Amino acid sequence: MTDKYTEFVSRGAGRDIARKLGLPQPVVLRRYAPGRPLVEGPVLVQGSGTGADELASILLSWRLDVRRHAVPREKLGAIILVLDGLARPEDLEKPVLGAAASLRDLAPNARVVIISRSAAGAPDPAVAAARQGVDGLLRSLAKELRAGATGNGILLTAAAGTTSPGTLGALQFFLSGRSAFVDGQFLTVTSGLGQLPDDAGTPLAGKVAVVTGAARGIGAAIARTLYRDGARLVVVDVPAAGGDLAKVANEVHGTALQLDISREDAGQRIIGHAVERHGRLDIVVHNAGITRDKLLVNMGQDRWNAVIAVNLAAQLRINAALLASVHFRSSPRIVSVASTSGIAGNRGQANYAASKAGVIGMVRATAPLLAAHGGSINAVAPGFIETAMTARMPFATREVARRLNSLQQGGEPGDVAEAIAFLASDAAGGISGEVLRVCGQNLVGA
């Protein structure tokens, strides 16, 4: 659904009217398109350690216009703040306030990325305090940015450094238009695994991907994005959606599998179809889901059980089949669609929120099981996304939900698809067990 308000206030008279009346002033976001530069404008890399120096050299090899020191009044496409050597809270002052001096020079749709270390692995309380301080810093900064600019963070564990493949992959994602609706979020690099693609335009070349719930909406957008990135597709949905599913399959030159994923043998059927038609299986995207909303006091057994069966129990069974299969062994990737409703809750969605919170727990517990095969599993948690479902919301409710995030607008199905495509790629091989919110920095349930 088109956000007419954002279009109106993004230019000319509309922008002036919104400014005078003190109304929200969202801008049209810079989203990914093949051939578009990774960053539009110079990139300022700040940090005094060797990690910052090494990172700056790599960014130069990406043909970015890199600055190690700010040039007054020069419009910046991005600021990267490397804080991987924090030892005490006092260490934050100089680099943070140094970067703050350049915030006014950010161009529209610019990016701020902070690279630091996880507090979970801190050797003492002072180090933990300094590292955890970055969390509050980044999330607050992201709320202060304007004109479509976003702020996100990368956390390093003991197994990862500033130039590890997973770190570089996450940095590319956060700098690019792929992360247009991701704001105020962190990704933790849990290992040194992963590999940047030889061709940035087709990072999934040679991969075979399965997408459930692919007949329409976000699922169809995921299939199109994975296809654009080079994957061969198996699209799955219930027989009742067979007509729409066939159209998506034809569009992405893939194969369609009409299947109720809550069937006991769904996992075996998905694996068998992928191997028979495409010879392998590399990526599974669990997108299929349903809602049966009702206040909990009025919730019946049928509504509760249907949502848990489709949204959670089906994923668990399919994953068990994948983990047991010899056909899912070569750096396999699983990406599940959760929801901010499973993180913050949502009125009238106790069953849905329980199922999506369960997905997050499943992802975290499954990550070690895939590690033996060099695999990963992650979740994407959408917030308010412009879909047919949100288009049916009452006008006032929809408008409030759109504006209650740092970017002051709803996301698009393609924003969710871009995050999933990144997590499904080898560039994200060092990231596993993570939940990435695609919500513009808000917790409105999806």
DSSP track, 356-379: HHHHHHHHHHHHHHHHTTT-EEEE
227 is catalytic: no
**Tens digit of pLDDT for each residue in 36-73?**
999 999 999 999 778 999 999 999 999 999 999 999 88
Q: Mean pLDDT, to the nearest integer, of 256-268? A: 97
From residue 339, alpha-carbon distances to 104, 309, 382 in Å are 33, 16, 5
Name the strands in the sheet holding 435-438, side by side, starting at the edge strand that comes first in the sequence: 255-258, 232-237, 208-212, 283-286, 333-337, 376-382, 435-438
**Tens digit of pLDDT for each residue in 316-360?**
999 999 999 999 999 999 999 999 999 999 899 999 999 999 999
* Token duo for residue 5: 């308000």
**How large a percentage of the chain has pLDDT more than 90?**
85
3-class secondary structure for 244-260? Answer: HHHHHHHHCCCEEEECC
- Whole-angstrom Cα distance, residue 207 to residue 332? 10
189 pLDDT above the threshold of 70 = yes
Decide if 100 contacts 145 (C-beta within 8 A).
no
The torsion defined by the Cα of 205, 206, 208 and 213, in degrees rounded to 10, comes to: 10
- Domain 40-156 and domain 208-438, same fold? Reply is yes
**Tens digit of pLDDT for each residue in 124-140?**
999 999 999 999 999 99
Q: Which residues contact 143 (CB under 8 A, 6 or more apart)?
A: 184, 406, 441
**Tens digit of pLDDT for each residue in 74-122?**
999 999 999 999 999 999 999 999 999 999 999 999 999 999 999 998 9
**Tens digit of pLDDT for each residue in 2-31?**
678 787 777 778 877 878 877 788 899 999
Domain residue ranges of the chain, discontinuous segments joined by +: 40-156, 208-438
DSSP E strand stretches across 292-410: 333-337, 376-382
Q: Which of 5, 32, 227, 352 is catalytic?
A: 352
CATH number of 40-156: 3.40.50.720
Quick one: angle between helices 413-423 and 217-228, nearest 10?
50
b or e along 229-264 (b: 16 or more beta carbons within 10 Å of the residue's beta carbon)? bbbbbbbbbbeebeebbeebbeebebbbbebebbee
pLDDT at 48: 78
CATH number of 208-438: 3.40.50.720
Q: Rounded to 5 degrees, what are φ and ψ at 335? A: -130, 125
Strands 283-286 and 255-258, by their bridges, are unpaired
- DSSP helix, strand, coil percent of the chain (3-state; round to 5): 45, 15, 40
Q: How many CA atoms lie within 13 A of 93 on its CB side?
A: 3
- Whole-angstrom Cα distance, residue 135 to residue 99? 16
Question: Which residue type, as a one-letter code, is found at position 233?
Answer: L
The CB density around residue 404, as the number of other CB atoms within 10 Å, is 16
